[in-house]
Structure 1
Amino acid sequence: MHFPYPQPEPGEGPGPLFVIGDVHGYLDELLAALHQQGLIDAEGHWSAGRSRVWFLGDFTDRGPDGIGVIDLVMQLAAEAAAAGGYCRALMGNHELLFLGAARYGDEAVQSTAGTASFLAAWRLNGGQQHDLERLQPHHISWLSRLPAMALEDGHLLLHSDTTAYLEYGETIADVNDAVHALLADEGIDEWWDAFRKFTKRFAFRGQAGTMAAQELLAMYGGYRVVHGHSPIPYLTGEHPEDGTPPHVPGPYIYADELAIAMDGGVTMDGRLLVARLPLN
């Protein structure tokens, strides 16, 4: 077997697995969290050897430097591969929204709330004009090829806590191919429909949540769903109304331990979470 990076020692297994929740443009917080976990050095370069890292999506919007976040993830992907590990990322609903705003702008779409546009929805959802102005063709190409879901060490990795993935295929490969085909060839209404579906949330919460998680796991494999998208303070109902920062001790395991939430609510003064899997 040919390895395009340092070949593992005989009997050496894959490196440790890490997942990272929603970043939303908070580059400084991301750098600090990655450095704390030993994944990057003080200069912001990969220092984790053969470790495997998955970002769960939502790089832009609301925070100050979404393009800086994308540039960092692309840089780490190259550096990790050279070290024998990898750094990969999922497509979040904000990637769909950001790409839609860049491609379709103010072109009208039919939504349940009346006529809208990707650009208007992007701005309402925290879109930062300086990110759009700095978006380059290589960013668009990279974002457009991100998978919607993945399976690692029995963990089904998703961005959104929704069962909408089931509408796009019966295997992980089918879902990813369907999303990529939609972004490449379909029109604005199909793109908008996908954005709306992947913006749904809270599927694994409450009495029906365990069954929803079981349905996804039965279809796509794995024993536990790991997702971002819905901030943990909203899932737990523990978000102060007086504006004080929420208490987020770490990832949130719920739905009879079939789901792990990784959005620590960095946009609401919570935390940007980086976690090594498996979690107890």
Structure 2
Amino acid sequence: MHDRAAHPAPPREDPPTIELGPPLTEDGLPYSTPYPAPDPSEPPGPLYVVGDVHGYLDELVAELRHQGLIDADGHWSAGRSRIWFLGDFTDRGPDGIGVIDLVMQLAAEAAAAGGYCRALMGNHELLFLGAHRYGDEPVQSTAGTASFLAAWRLNGGQQHDLDRLESHHISWLSRLPAMALEDDHLLLHSDTTAYLEYGESIAEVNDAVHDLLADEGADEWWDAFRRFTKRFAFRGNAGPTAVHELLDAYGGRRVVHGHSPIPYLTGAAHADDGVPPHIPGPYVYADDLAIAMDGGVTMEGRLLIARLPVN
């Protein structure tokens, strides 16, 4: 495990700079798929979700092994199981590219075994890709002139991740969906209703984000990053209503999201006793309509993996 003392916890506020897919096959990738073809008559396997990883590769590997999803050599061992990562692979932790490489590897191995390993695009994917593509190019921010590179560094960007970013990483990240529906669970990265601004169906939202990444300029990218950095829409008295807005538009009976660390949602992040937050598991809230999966690994919490449904 990495020494947490070498990676201090972020400030109390998860610092925004502004107001608060399918597996990709690439020739030459360094992994194989040593599994027999699955029997199509078999039922789908169990469904798992993984919260924000933020570069903590060792913690991810340990939790995947604990859940029986990978073997001792780091290869898929979950058969027809289905896994969705909820986004935010990089920034703040020590090995974001290593996390992306592992998820890409597991995507190929899972597909060969009759399961799948898929991922959503988080706001940090937008930020990371923007830092690579636009660098210090000025963008119009509500806080004045800014740039993706400056915002990425402020939000925990690690230069060694940017230095190791390759074309197959960019291609894979750029094709990640923004949202998905699995077993009546609406999977999102961010606890915001901003998705409603991009389409009236899941397909429309995902197409809109992909089109933006393919064709639009720095200001449009920045606006998407700003919208998907918003948080806490499902907290408080109005939270259930906000969840219902999304469920009514896109389907499902529950929202499952990352993005906002559970210690912030519960208020545990503001304790003054210096004790790391206690994260027993996913946080179910908003009249049982929302499940938060960011266990706060960057602030000495936990990297969460859960099998759905969560009671």
Distance 1:101 1:77 in 2: 25
Q: Structure 2: 5+ residue runs without aligned partners? A: 1-34
Distance 2:144 2:243 in 1: 32
**Which of residues 158, 183, 201 in structure 2 aligns to 1:153?**
183
In structure 2, the partner of 1:175 is 205
**Which of residues 227, 231, 245 in structure 2 aligns to 1:201?**
231
In structure 2, the partner of 1:91 is 121
Distance 2:187 2:100 in 1: 19
Cα deviation digits, residues 47-102 of structure 1 (max 9, x gap): 00000000000000000000000000000000000111000000000000000000
Cα deviation digits, residues 132-179 of structure 1 (max 9, x gap): 000001000000000000000000000000000000000000000000
**Identity level (%):** 83
In structure 1, the partner of 2:140 is 110
Q: CA deviation at 1:186?
A: 0.4
**Which of residues 89, 92, 97 in structure 2 aligns to 1:59?**
89
User: Does 2:298 align with 1:273?
Assistant: no
SS at match of 2:49: strand
**Which of residues 258, 264, 270 in structure 1 aligns to 2:289?**
258
Distance 1:14 1:40 in 2: 18
Q: CA deviation at 1:183?
A: 0.2
In structure 2, the partner of 1:185 is 215
Asked if the contact 2:186/2:256 (under 8 Å) is kept, the reply is: yes
In structure 1, the partner of 2:61 is 31
Asked if the contact 2:38/2:112 (under 8 Å) is kept, the reply is: no
**Which of residues 149, 152, 158 in structure 2 aligns to 1:119?**
149
**Which of residues 26, 35, 42 in structure 1 aligns to 2:72?**
42
Q: Which amino acid aligns with 1:174?
A: E
Q: CA deviation at 1:6?
A: 2.6
TM-score normalised by length of structure 1: 0.97
Q: Structure 1: 5+ residue runs without aligned partners? A: none
Asked if the contact 1:5/1:81 (under 8 Å) is kept, the reply is: no
What RMSD, in angstroms, separates the aligned Cα atoms of the two structures?
A: 1.1
Q: CA deviation at 1:36?
A: 0.3
Aligned length: 276
Change (3 A) 1:5 1:211: farther
Q: CA deviation at 1:16?
A: 0.3
SS at match of 2:291: strand
Distance 1:72 1:84 in 2: 18
